[in-house]
A = this chain, B = another copy of it.
Amino acid sequence: MPVYTLTTTVGMLSSQTKASLAGEIGRIHSEINHVPATYVNVVYQELPVDNVYAGGEPAAPVLVNGWVREGHDEEETSRLALEIASAVTEFTSVPEDRVVVVFQSSPARFAVELGRLLPDPGHEADWVASIKNGQPTVHR
């Protein structure tokens, strides 16, 4: 259900780092927001060095943008942001002064997965069960 977009410059992260960090983001998200890790989408946008600036100067940050459904406990979202930022530094060795994490949210009923509107936070299990019963497709 969530979508994470990590923006960096080309060559900052190895393929192995991208894969292992994607797994760690899934693990953290799953633990805090109670969504099965298989539903956690992570994409990397790797940009040429002259396409990334901070204060008008070339920069090499890791900019993380995460989308989550509205209605999660706000303190949990703060914890999620802090833990994701910490994981980025741990897995990439990019120091925390170059890591920015931003979460945005909108109502679950503004989003669709598996052809169905998403459930509000707290109703994930029913939603997953209804899909398993009514619809044999498997999310990958």
Residues in B with CB closer than 8 Å to A41 are: 52-54, 59, 61, 63, 100
Q: How far is the CA of A37 from the CA of B56 in the complex (A)?
A: 8
Contact A44 B55 (CB under 8 A): no
- Residue A77, interface by CB 8 Å: yes
- Count of chain A residues with a beta carbon within 8 Å of a chain B beta carbon: 75
Contact A111 B101 (CB under 8 A): yes
Q: State the Cβ distance, A103 to closest chain B Cβ, in Å.
A: 4
Within 8 A of B (CB), among A1-51: 1, 3, 5, 7, 15, 18-20, 22-27, 36-48, 50-51
Residues in B with CB closer than 8 Å to A27 are: 56
